[in-house]
Amino acid sequence: MKHFLRIVGLPLLLLMGMSVTGVSHQDNAEPAFPEIVKARAEKLTARDQDILRLNIEHQAKLEKMQRQVKLLEDTNRELVQAGQRAGSDKKAIPIDIVSKDQKTLVVKFPLNDANWETAWKIEWDVENIGAARKAGLIFPKDREDHTPVLFKIKKAFFKPGKASPWVQVLDDAHPSELYVPYYFRDTRFFDLRDAGEYVPLNAQEGGPRGTTLGKDRFVMAELRDRGVAYKNENVSRRAEELALWANFNAGNYTYLIEFGFMDDGAIAFRHAPTGYNLPSDHFASHMHNCCWRIGVHLKLENELAPKNTVGVSRWPGNTPNAPNAALENKTLDVEPIKAEGFRDWEPTEFTKIRVTNPAVILNEPNGPNSRAISYDLAPIVHGIARHSRSDETFSKHDFWITRADSSVKQYIHLGDYFDKQKPRALDGGKVILWHMSSALHVPRSEDGILKGSALANGQALATWTTVELRPRHLFTGTPIYRNPK
């Protein structure tokens, strides 16, 4: 029943959230940027009234659905996926929980092997609106402080060998917004800012090697096989991953948010919308955008005063086939990014954003092949979403790059930030890579649209979007190569 109550709760939350005039305004050392956000919010009132009316209709339909579902529950319980709690939410899986609150953990690969080769040390948290407001994020004033809305990796360190140092990669990575524009009646849902929250999981949902973490059970730790990493004749190796995932529930839609920490040093940032199509208009086409804020701080764990540089890697797609020495050097295809700004993804260029720590060389410190350590942000693209409303200029570009100490704290304010703020020089400190991964959803019969939405019909299956951070020159050779014992 709990699940069902959440569905009914949606329109109320939306009604509250849609009152954008309620956006709170916080003091800031640089007034120009927050002022513009506030002014824009006030201007939207008329349009939001329209959306309000739509949601009142939506509410009536949901109530009808509630009655149908009750009937269904009473007559055929097997059809209702009520998410019954398992006997135990904690299972023993081969990870090392380092802190009492289960928010710091270590995983070593290969799993269950004393002769492990690589490892991740991860600190995660789920923060509420109160903490987010203190950090400068803006939410409608009627959203309550205790609501959990930010599932973040506070820090992640990778060890590319048993004898290697820990290398910090992430510094505060989380979905900043779950943005769902519908292509009708100008309907827009800012589901993270206005509507939903993270909800408890049960261990069964994590499969045979999954366990919930923390007292609130908001996060699942799930170990996965991810297929063959390498094969040649009789040498082969299965690749592995620790996924930390959570569920952000925003009424009829619910989102799976996942960080995949792989044995080869890569990190996948994944999001999948699932749940139910819009009950009032289950045919309505829409876009699911996950607006990622990926804080990168690439440094040795104990390195003092590290400097990071940023560049855009763009393969020259129209290069002639003739031998070209310029294609073989260290900096080929990398154009330095010296100031905050944005870049677009070009399919023929395989565009990636690269963060480098020029002072750290792990692969061959004194040899001719020495290369500084880097991580590349590489989207796995279904398509590129562009939205044209004046309050969605954050969707104009595929990558945004800012300093961690700049005043922009939410993805949805990026367009305004760059309209009003002179780009600041990147000074080598912590950087934030912002990227929106998108899934277009044109509802189909497989979503249950033919018979309308109800708990037994109308489910939208999970559709994943992904962007990855991949290591470059952290290893002295091919990682995870040998056969595990």
Judged by the rule CB under 5 A, the positions of this chain that interact with Cu ion are: 441, 460
Nearer to Cu ion, 131 or 462 (CB): 462
Query: Least distance (Å) from Cu ion to the CB of residue 19?
Result: 24
Q: One-letter amino acid identity for 200? A: P
Q: How far is the CB of 465 from Cu ion (least distance, A)?
A: 12
Residue 441 or 470: the one with the smaller Cβ distance to Cu ion is: 441
Q: Which of 176, 177, 192, 207 is nearest to 249 (CA)?
A: 192
* DSSP states of 278-297: -TT-TT--EEEEEEEEEEEE
**Structure token digits, residue 355:** 């963060």
| Cβ neighbours of residue 13 closer than 8 Å, sequence gap 6 or more | 194, 195, 196, 250, 251
Q: Smallest distance, Å, CB 3 to Cu ion?
A: 18
Smallest separation, CB 365 to Cu ion (Å): 50
Q: Is 372 within 8 Å of 468 (Cβ atoms)? A: no
Which residue number is nearest to Cu ion in terms of Cβ? Answer: 441
Nearer to Cu ion, 283 or 317 (CB): 283
Minimal distance in Å, beta carbon 62 to Cu ion? Answer: 17
Rank residues 110 and 279 by Cβ distance to Cu ion and give the closer one.
279
Residue 164 CB, nearest distance to Cu ion (Å)? Answer: 43
Closest to Cu ion by CB, 308 or 453: 453
- Please give the angle made by the CA atoms of 452, 455 and 458, to the nearest 5 degrees: 35
For 429, phi then psi, to 5°, come to: -80, -165
| Residue 107: partners with Cβ closer than 8 Å, 6 or more residues away | 94, 95, 96, 119, 120, 122, 223, 242, 261
Q: 3-state SS of 56-106?
A: HHHHHHHHHHHHHHHHHHHHCHHHCCCCCCCCCCCCCCCCEECCCCCCEEE
413 or 441, CB closer to Cu ion?
441
Nearer to Cu ion, 119 or 460 (CB): 460
∠ CA 318-322-325, nearest 5°, is 95
Half-sphere exposure of 346 (CA within 13 A, CB side): 10
Between 194 and 447, name the residue whose CB sits nearer to Cu ion: 447
Give the chain's end-to-end CA distance (angstroms, integer): 47
Report, in Å, the least distance between residue 385 CB and Cu ion: 13
Least separation, in Å, of the C-beta of 36 and Cu ion?
A: 31
